[in-house]
Amino acid sequence: MSQINRLQETVAALLDGHRGILAADESNGTIAKRFASIGVEPTEENRRNYRTALLSCKGLGECISGVILFEETLGQKDASGQFLPEVAAAQGILPGIKVDKGKGPLPGADGDMITYGLDGLAERLRSYQEQGARFAKWREVYPIGHHNPTRLGLTANAEVLARYAAVCQAEGVVPIVEPEVLMDGGHDIERSAAVNERVWHSVFHALHQHGVILELMLLKPSMVIPGSEAEAAGPEQVAEYTLRSLRRTVPAAVPSINFLSGGQGPEEATANLNAMNQQGGGPWQLGFSYGRALQESALSAWQGRAENVVAAQEALLKRSRMNHLAMLGKYRETLE
């Protein structure tokens, strides 16, 4: 099978108009913080048990088409000895992999960040494919401040995203491009919209320069929302601003936009996605690739105890179904 055919096959499996992507790719440091909130030690065994519970949730494949995994999870097995990517695949959920190596300050651009991990990426992708991964994800972050993101910050982050995406496609792996505009701060929704537009414009300019095939990638952006210290916006306003900014900057060739939740609460993220689809969306599929917004209630129900696995799975399945309905524009808060 050619690389192009492999990419087309993966995109077709991920996108069917009603299923989204579960982000279960928390680094060991991040999941340690999540576990600390429920008093669970962040051991390898506990991480394996928790992710086994998520991926073995019966019926999850009806709402979830793909799952982004952390590198450790690719090599872990459930209690029966089955590799966790195979557990997901058995439900019709395509395994994917987070490939960036975390972020740090961008020299020369005070306040901006840059993500590491391009060195050796092609070799790692080949190894990940042997372990079942079919797509990848890379995240760049953009703080909003008085002077941020700077021109250098925009250019440098876009360049890294484009290089990552080009390497993925060369290796037959579908790239998810994630430019996350952080919600920290007191900026209003107008400022958020302006920054998001600048970010998306710079990203697609770089993707074009690197020859990335837009039809064979996914975009995982922030929604256009006010800063966490500003007055909140309702779903209709978030949908209006987000769709306007996307239509100004994201080419129609991109097949799907799978939003990150970016610190939004589970109900908020679902309601905002629903409003976008009710307002007519755009030329792209509008879906979700949520982490905490899908897992928060499941983690709370699990509490690190085997007897709570079913309750955790029920919580995950409920949130997944709510977002499945939001992709169809049929979510109702009363269903909560």
Residues 36 and 160: their CA atoms lie apart, in Å, by 33
Residues 212 and 123: their CA atoms lie apart, in Å, by 19
Residues 96 and 103: their CA atoms lie apart, in Å, by 20
Residues 325 and 98: their CA atoms lie apart, in Å, by 26
In the annotation, is 33 catalytic? Answer: no
175 phi and psi angles, rounded to 5 deg:
-90, 135
In the annotation, is 220 catalytic? Answer: yes
Helices (H), the chain: 3-14, 28-36, 44-55, 71-74, 84-89, 121-130, 151-170, 189-209, 235-249, 266-278, 292-302, 309-327
Instruction: Decide: residue 239, CB within 10 A, 0-12 exposed, 13-18 middle, 19+ buried.
Output: buried
Residue that has been written with the tokens 């949908």 in this structure: 239
> Distance between alpha carbon 207 and the CA centroid of its chain, in Å?
19
SS3 for 113? Answer: strand
69 phi and psi angles, rounded to 5 deg:
-110, 155
Residues 93 and 153: their CA atoms lie apart, in Å, by 35
DSSP code, position 12 = H
Residues 151 and 174: their CA atoms lie apart, in Å, by 28
Residues belonging to the chain: 336
Q: Which of 26, 220, 268, 296 is catalytic?
A: 220
Q: Which of 159, 171, 178, 296 is catalytic?
A: 178
Nearest to 183 by CA among 269, 271, 250: 269
Q: Which residues are catalytic?
A: 178, 220
